Structure 1
């Protein structure tokens, strides 16, 4: 589908359409004249699959993180530790998609004040609402109703995203949203100079140094410093700009992905998983404790993680392309899960806490029993998805992604 325009990118249509960019080489209008403002509107449903994969990985992270409750280092604990580490590709994927979709929506001439107004309307209401909810109903440990927090505690929770263990992501993405107009201008300067790949490599190098420094400073100056630096935008800036770059080079990227051998990409991502998982597992085995290693040990992990995340992103894109091509129930599930990923992301911690309490009450099993982990993973995915689907037609459920206006999973331009 081709649209002809005069001066600027047309408004974004229904969710799922992507404008790969302006065709500026010999495009010819229906009248036969060359036209430099051709917008190729390509249906990219693969993004929904990516969101679905990442949302499932987020649930896996927050289920498996309870490996620390095993009384001693054992096989189930180490297995869940490995899942916990390797499923952390979820946040880089969401941020990668955020950069992609913001570049889609805000390319060329656009109103910066209107951009900020739209970002504020779409990100702040859910963040404020769920910060208040999780301050009143804490989900770490046993689920309970807490007393009204002090104003200082509320301010700290909003600044650091500490009301629940998943809200830190909002702190990072809000910073990237605020800086996007500057980031995209810097990218365009490098892109016009033919140095976009140099910029990406420089950002990757700086991001690795930043995250290594966060671990080192946390080890020597206190864990609070690590928490602050890990939530600062440089910790994930490379993945955000990578999304912008892939949007600008959509055609090339899709062709490059199709030209790669799936087997070799899977091998590369598997090797990366073993490397970063091993960096965590080895200190636990040596110290015979899940808390025996210092933050400084994990500086090595920060060096290796991009070598894992980048192949994983490519593997997930390949899987999305395959699902879109073959179709079927599995494809429908992942795409629908991705469409509702924003709401799933927001509510799944309270679902985990509630289901864990019910599971312990009826079976007597807790996080120290290996069977708890797969059962609660499947149950959390099903209940979270079902709850968001049921809430979708209801009024005032925009912060759950229940309306067409707000139904933008983590990584969409209208959500996190």
Structure 2
């Protein structure tokens, strides 16, 4: 099996973006709406490419490993080993340890709260991703089989366009349902697999046509691809900054703003994926070195970093505020917490991975078994 070295770089980029999202989201703790709040709103929105990139990578990796005949039982066994134990462990941890706003012991949760956390990934703000990826794992054999039928008929591109249309309608509909039927509807619908299915199937397409994908991407102007991604970042980040400035908060924005955002976001995320692949190539073609090696290593441990970083952010912020007297209302806080969380999360995951069996709790068994799991 050929491994695509781009994938580890992409995982590292996406993990950094996740940390940026979860640090910048604390702009809500700034009294009023000022320049610091608006900058962090923009970062928060622009860095949301992280989950689509992770979903795209999942489709790419699974599509590369599982094509033709394979054991469905072995497929599900491997997926369960990869995701269930870390998800259960961190759900239990984040139900008992508060990582939003304050840092401390939350007490023993009620059974209803446990059930909700397991079904919706609400124990902490990062765990909803697991609810989504579990669905895509469960459906992968059917999704891949359906994709291959379109591919054999020469209609793979048509399928991608159709899924893009369906995904946009689904996500706009989730906001409409949340607005008119209750916010719990949005909470559920945005976690159902059609909300990100296009990115997953796009990854399968790249896995099935990797050489074509690389050739087509290399034929594009890097400056043009970067300009497209940059324009999308300015448009979406600027749109939300203006909306927050006008309405006073993200949640206070009108339904039309949310719907327009959902329509536009894929046209930003796809160029971002292309830019990140180009960046991975640039690092790899530079002959390796410390930067490339550090990027790959960060990507290799991205699963554990994703799981543990909320705990690190909360603990780091508590220590920072205690030592300096600063808060989320100060400019210095954001870069310090971001860099500290990235470094400490990486270090913690590497340390845990060296403890016998403990690595399974942060997904590090995947690293030992090999990247195409």
Range of TM-score over shorter length: over 0.9
> What is the alpha-carbon root mean square deviation over aligned residues?
1.4
Matches within 5 A, 1:13-412: 17-18=2-3, 44-326=4-286, 327-396=288-357, 397-403=359-365
Q: CA separation in 2, counterparts of 1:55 and 1:244?
A: 21
Which segment is superposed worse, 162-171 or 144-153?
A: 144-153
Is contact 2:103-2:318 (8 Å) kept? yes
Q: Which has the higher helix share?
A: 2
User: Which ranges of structure 2 fall in alignment gaps of 5 or more residues?
Assistant: none
Residue correspondences, number? 371
Alignment partner of 1:83: what SS?
helix
CA shift in 2, pair 1:86/1:352, >3 Å = same
State the TM-score, normalizing by the size of structure 2: 0.96
Please report how far the alpha carbon of residue 402 of structure 1 lies from its aligned counterpart in structure 2 after TM superposition: 3.2
Q: CA deviation at 1:121?
A: 1.7
**Cα displacement (A) at 1:118:** 1.6
Q: Is the 8 A contact 1:401 1:407 kept in 2?
A: no
Q: 1:398 touches 1:405 (CA, 8 Å); kept in 2?
A: no
Structure 1 unaligned blocks of 5 or more: 1-11, 19-43
Indicate conservation of the 8 Å contact 1:394/1:402, yes or no: no
Q: Rg: which structure is higher?
A: 1
Q: Deviations over 1:270-320 (max 9, x none)?
A: 111112113312222222445421344210001110110000000000000
Aligned CA distance change for structure 1 residues 404 and 126 (closer, same or farther; 3 Å) = closer
Indicate if the aligned counterparts of 1:73 and 1:290 stay in contact, CA closer than 8 A: no
Quick check: 2:39–2:241 contact (8 Å CA) kept in 1? no
SS at match of 2:364: coil
Distance 1:183 1:158 in 2: 24
- Report the CA distance shift for 1:133/1:217 in structure 2 as closer, same or farther (over 3 A): same
SS in 1 for 2:124: coil
